[in-house]
Structure 1
Amino acid sequence: MISFIWSPGNPLPAGTGGSENYTVGQVRELTRRGVPAQVVTVGLGTDDGRDDFVDIPFLSLPTLAAVGALDGTVVFVNEPHPVPTRRPAFLILHNPPPIREQHRAFAIEGTRDRALIATSRYAASLWSSYLDVDVSTINVVYPFAEPCFAAQARPDNRTGTTRVLFAGRLSPEKGIYTLLETLHIDVIEQDVALTFTATTAGADKPQGKIIERLLREHPAITVVTTRRTPASMAALMTEHDIVVMPSNSQYWHETFGIVSIEAQHSGCRVIASDDGGLPETDCGGVLLIAPDNAETLAWGIRAAIDSGPLSLSARRYAGMRFTVEQSVDTLLTVFAQPQPSPPATIIRQLEELILAPSVEAAHTVRVPTGTTA
């Protein structure tokens, strides 16, 4: 059994972010292959989000300590809780390292005896510097787009407009405020053939509620209900031409950017910040721009319009990259191969070596001249 430990005390939400899609997609593909896998939630009973994922096995545990009794492979998602497990556990680092000093000790302690998995080369490098470990000791398992994104038919665009979608969470780090600034740049504001749409993803959080109200008041952007399944999100993306990902780079760095590959598999061009792991998501349809810059986002949109729709051949090429099959193949390889000793083990071995009794030096016996030893 492969158990993915979701954030304790939190239900697994549908349609809100990359780590959720990654976790659910991995479990779905593993079970399709006949490999037992499950999402494990803590402290919620059956009110843990399972109703939105009827095809995914769930297990609810009363306490975090109960994770220690699980058999098989244990994979912590995002949060590095220092819980003893029967076998060496893994930790998937979906988020960048915390920037607040008070969270540093928790991150370092919880990663000391875990085999680490990052979601991009950028994320592996970022965490290796933060934890002061060799980057080669951090495995990379890329996220993926579910098969429905490449398979969803694109209806003909008969609107006479270029349709732009913001599909990220309604939170500052995803660049929503940069997009709002861009709506007032003259090369965008004066183009009546441009339409903008955002979903309510993240509006369940306090800051998301505020941002949703701002968007609904803006005359240039339409807000639609978040899509809670990959199939419904794929259908939404194929009704758009451009997906924007103006992620903030001041205090947040996207470790990958699953929306980017979903959009390209759907046949959309993507305008993304040239920051974090976003450059690694390029399947042939990404235009990178300077982050935190409304002017460059505006001209990025204009460049995407001038480039025209993504061709069928370009979409097919994109759909062959970052697939769930490729991702799970890599994950299973990581589970099967010997892992480097975690920092905690190395430190413990060095401490034992230092405390070990020294070997007494051999005594030299002087033999007087003319005698036989």
Structure 2
Amino acid sequence: MKPGRPPAGIAMVLPASEGFAPGRAGAIALVVQRLAHAAGACVIGRAEPAVFPGIDYRPAHGRPPLIYGMNVLRHLLALQPASIEIHQQPRLAVTIARLMPRSRVMLFIHNDPLTMRGLKRAAQRAHIMTRLHRVICVSTYLAERFGTSLPPATRVSPTHRPIALPNPLTLAELPPPTTSRSRTILFAGRIVEPKGIADFITACASALPHLPGWQATIIGGDRFGPNSAETPYVAAMRAAAKAAGIGFAGYRPHADVLAAMATAAIVVVPSRWPEPFGLTALEALASGAALIATNTGGLPEVTGDAAILIDPGDAAALAAAITALATDDHAREMRAAAGIARARAFDTPVIAARLQTLRGEKTAL
């Protein structure tokens, strides 16, 4: 490269724990795959036997953060990309920005920053804001959390405040919604206490006896991937579902989940914890299901007015919402249409165009 010539290209860096293959990808990997495909970006992540096709993938060996980070840096120094987008790794982002000052380094935050190493203290977050091109959070909820107790704008430039950029969903790749929906109430997600699976089971156990012809189904495991463990909590929820007459399919590949959403009449996202974004809720909206979700975290930003929102942990309110939708065909149709319309704002080309603008914006570095 000639002296003074700016670097070219985009590189996206995954956390070392994140798989990047169909059947092994979590929410972060799915988001990166969509954005990378839209931008023709290179992706750097852990070594995988197979990865998503059509993407320039560079394996960085080593799981300890230091070794993984050194191998990421090795790839970046060889690539010299104009834009480096690091997901969920604030310390690595600052290090890369210091060692590669000619590249624009952006940090993407997918979880509550106040619980992340290197971001828990306001001084740490303020330091990072002034060292990077941008900090991007996947919801306004997270951006506000990141800004908690930051110094006033007189000390931290407004251009260094975190930006909210929603996760994308490639609508053209989804199974087409069906006009004739099965009378199914669907939960799809990890089988862990914060996801509210116990509330879903309790609500369905209460509602189903009064809803002839309806059934409820659970898809999910303790984690993503076919080797998801049968933890004591999963076993307990499986037993509770069986007692309530609810189907329990266990882990299924992401394509199977989307296919189930394309035919289910109602999808429920009953999270008890503040979801950083709520990708499952967005998938349900785009799939044409009538959605019930909890009013917490980033979920209201995703759903807008297209879903019925209830308080987290309120199984009685959830049962009432399920009953109301199951017994009102028109209400379900209206929610489904609103959801499809709402999802268009999150289509990958729309979000990718917004991200491209952020890549080129100047900051007060």
Shift in alpha-carbon separation, 1:131–1:242, aligned structure 2, 3 A: farther
The letter of the residue matching 1:197 is T
What pairs up with 1:47-196 in 2 under 5 angstroms? Answer: 47=49, 51-62=50-61, 63-69=68-74, 70=76, 71-72=80-81, 73-82=83-92, 83-85=95-97, 86=100, 87-99=103-115, 104=120, 108=124, 111-112=128-129, 113-114=131-132, 115-129=134-148, 137-148=161-172, 152-154=176-178, 156-157=180-181, 162-184=183-205, 186-196=206-216
Question: Offset at 1:281?
Answer: 1.1
Query: In the aligned structure 1, how far is the partner of 2:234 from the partner of 2:123?
Result: 32
Report the CA distance between 1:80 and its aligned residue: 1.7
Structure 1 residue runs of 5 or longer lacking an equivalent are 32-36, 342-373
Aligned residues of 2:106 and 2:135 also touching (Cα < 8 A) = yes
Name the counterpart of 1:351. none
Q: Are 1:221 and 2:246 counterparts?
A: yes
8 Å CA contact retained: 2:272, 2:313 = yes
In 2: Cα distance, 1:107 partner to 1:235 partner: 45
SS of 1:90's partner is strand
Partner of 2:345: 321
Contact in 1 for aligned 2:192/2:234 (Cα 8 Å):
no
Q: Residues 329-340 of structure 1 correspond to what in structure 2 (within 5 A)?
A: 329-340=353-364
Larger Cα-atom Rg:
1
Rounded Cα–Cα distance in structure 2 between residues aligned with 1:64 and 1:133? 32
Q: What corresponds to 1:24 in structure 2?
A: 33
Deviation at 1:55, TM superposition (A): 2.8
Residue 295 of structure 2 corresponds to residue 270 of structure 1: no
1:265 to partner: Cα distance: 1.2
Q: Which amino acid aligns with 1:79?
A: Q
Q: 1:128-164 deviations in whole A, cap 9, x for unaligned?
A: 116557686111211122224666141523x5xx311
| Alignment CA distance shift 1:9-1:301 (3 Å) | closer
1:39 and 2:64 are equivalent in the alignment = no
TM-score norm. by structure 2 comes to 0.77
1:197 pairs with one of 214, 217, 232: 217
Q: 1:340 to 1:214 in 2, by over 3 A?
A: farther
Q: Does structure 2 conserve the Cα–Cα contact (< 8 Å) formed by 1:196 and 1:222?
A: yes
Identical pairs, percent? 20
Gaps of 5+ in 2: 1-8, 62-67
**1-side partners of 2:138 and 2:118: how far apart?**
25
Q: What CA distance in whole angstroms lies between the structure 2 residues aligned with 1:127 and 1:243?
A: 30
TM-score w.r.t. length of structure 1: 0.75
Report the counterpart of residue 3 of structure 2 in structure 1: none
Contact 1:152 1:234 in 2 (8 A): no
